[in-house]
Every structure is written in structure tokens, then in C-alpha cells.
Amino acid sequence: MATATAKASAKKARALGAQRAEVSRLTTYEWVALDKRGKRMKGEMPGKNASLVKAELRRQGMNPQTVRERAKPLFGASGSTIKPGDVAIFSRQIATMMASGVPMVQSFDIIADGQKNVRFKNVLLDVKQNIEGGASLHEALARYPVQFDELYCNLVHAGETSGVLDTVLDTVATYKERTEALKKKIKKALFYPMMVLAVVFIV
């Protein structure tokens, strides 16, 4: 029974590893498109090639204008990676400002102005621009699926529809903070056994 369970776990791990490898091979593309109202929209999308990204944009009802591979930072420039923790902090900030009655566009300006991560700052400014162009918050965030996944956008949409967006964003922030804290605990818990195994193999 133990052997069967171990084999099943190993198979699941291999499948998960293959899935992650497939995602890592995707290239992130920056795009500009016109929506159904003719408004200019910007965003990012992972894909195997530019043609597939254009096809996906058309499927979403947009007219692609430009699609190009996102430029890689030279010499590993700092601030180029947007971490889940950045999204959690943003969620908390926007929820607090909305609960305080600060207009959404102004909230994005304030948060972006204080954002040290240059890449995330540019994403927030693009999201703000899309909102100013007539998109709802969940539509604008969905332009950046790498940072704001489908679940995140669906929850935001639900918050917009029910009129409790600030509460939903606050809940999302708490969830992401706890998830990141759990990941750190798991990494620490696995560190010692891995070190022991490394020593055993070396000896």
C-alpha cells in the first residue's frame, strides 16, 4: 500500500513538474489593442508565439494593434520581477483607499507613485489607463493574467457586481498574505531534511 502511494505521489509530482516547465517555456507578450468600443487597451499575455496571442485577443473581442515580446531587463535589473507579495500589498492598499472613499483612478495614482518595483508601477499605470478608457477594474486587471490570475479577476468581478469590492479586495489580500506565509513555512520545514539528505549523499 505504501509503495503504491509513493508511486502515485511521484507520478503526480512529475505531472506537476511537467506542467510548470510548460508554463515557464511560454513567452510574455506586451500588446496594444482596440476593444469593442474602439478604446485603446494595453496589457500582457503569456503565449507560445505572437500569432496565438493575437488570436486570443480576437477571441476576447479585441482588435490587436501591436503584439511584441516583452523586453528582458539588462544585467538582471532590480525591480523587474513582480512577486505575489507585491500583489497582496496592492490589494490591501486599494481596498483601504476604496473603503475610505478615495476614487479608484486616484487610488491607482497614489499606489503607483509609492511603488518601488518599476515593473509593477508600469502595470498599475496601464491598468489605470484602461479604467480611464472605460474598462471595469476586473477587465483592466485581466489584461495582466501573469500578475492577476483568473480567480483574482473573478473575485473582483463578483465584488463589483455585489457592491462590496473593497471587502472582497481586503479578503483577497488576507488570503494572499497567508498563502505566502505558508509557503515560507513549508520551505523552512523542508530545508533541514534536504540538508540531511545532501550530507548523506556527500558522505
Does residue 32 fall inside a structural domain? yes
Domains: count for the chain: 2
Q: Domain check: are 143 and 177 in the same one?
A: yes
- The pLDDT of residue 17 is 47
Q: Domain check: are 114 and 46 in the same one?
A: no
Q: Give the separation between CA 105 and CA 107, rounded to whole angstroms.
A: 5
Q: Domain check: are 105 and 147 in the same one?
A: yes
Q: Domain check: are 147 and 103 in the same one?
A: yes
Q: Domain check: are 89 and 159 in the same one?
A: yes
pLDDT, one tens digit per residue, over 121-130 is: 989 999 998 8
Does residue 18 fall inside a structural domain? no
Q: Domain check: are 28 and 96 in the same one?
A: no
* CA-closest candidate to residue 34, choices 58, 70, 4, 69: 58
pTM for this entry: 0.61
> What domain range includes position 37?
23-71
Q: What residues of the chain score a pLDDT lower than 50?
A: 1-3, 5-6, 9-10, 13, 16-17, 19-21, 23, 74-79
